Chain A
């Protein structure tokens, strides 16, 4: 079954502390993994995708096929990082590119 699991509903860390948002997936083919973010009162927006291998707003995520994980990391959290974070996947060979989503993790950065 195709599934994305984000085990933490809520993660609260102090400003300046490292952040790791966990994402595990189950997919029979070759997936592409994404992290989307939703700031308060704003729409969902793409944060990063594993294919791009880039760092956005200090966040990075590495696809670990052995552990089927795509954890999101940032070495020093900032207050403006407080938001809902969703991990999602799509199949690289799927014809419709529909996204399969995790339930999301609410990240709170304490001052």
Chain B
């Protein structure tokens, strides 16, 4: 499968713990996006990378959230001191450079904070 992959697919953690998710984009895509989706809602933009540079962060992204894409390939999203409100599906997408190229989505990581 050469699509976007995300690991783990599911994560259950206790409040206050740190969690880290990984996204592997399609190899030739230099743009990478993180979104969060809660039940009954559409995805919400969190952050965006072009190659290794993080170019945009949503105001939704509190300072407990950090994302990296160190070599311009895979990306990690870390949430520190998780809260119950962080429970959601975390989606990663990638696209080619250029105007309005299609974003290809991964299967998501479902986080449950107890």
Tell me the A residues contacting B by CB distance below 8 Å: 4, 9, 32, 43-46, 49, 51, 86, 88, 90, 92, 95-104
Contacts and interface: CB of A to CB of B under 8 A. Distances in A.
Given A92-B99, A96-B55, A4 B106 contact: no
B2 to A, nearest CB: 13
A37 B53 CA distance: 29
Interface in B66-114: 91, 93, 95, 99-108
Contacts of A95: 55-56
Contact of A96 (B35, B56, B107): B56
A44 B103 CA distance: 10
Given A32-B100, A43-B107, A43-B108, A96 B48 contact: yes
30 contacts: A9-B40, A32-B100, A43-B4, A43-B108, A44-B43, A44-B91, A44-B105, A45-B104, A51-B100, A86-B42, A86-B43, A88-B42, A90-B100, A92-B100, A95-B55, A95-B56, A96-B48, A96-B55, A97-B31, A97-B48, A97-B95, A98-B45, A98-B56, A99-B43, A99-B45, A100-B45, A101-B44, A103-B41, A103-B42, A104-B40
Interface in B36-51: 40-45, 48, 50
B42 A97 contact: no
Contacts of B21: none
Contacts of A98: 33, 45, 48, 56
A100 B44 CA distance: 7
B42 A4 contact: yes
Contacts of A90: 100
Nearest to B56: A96
Contacts of A96: 48, 50, 55-56
Contacts of A101: 42-44
Which 9 A-B pairs give the minimum distances between C-beta atoms? A101-B42, A44-B105, A98-B45, A96-B56, A96-B48, A43-B105, A43-B107, A46-B102, A101-B43
Contacts of B43: 44, 86, 99, 101
A46 B101 CA distance: 11
Question: Which of A32, A43, A101 has its CB near the most chain B CB atoms (within 10 A)?
Answer: A43
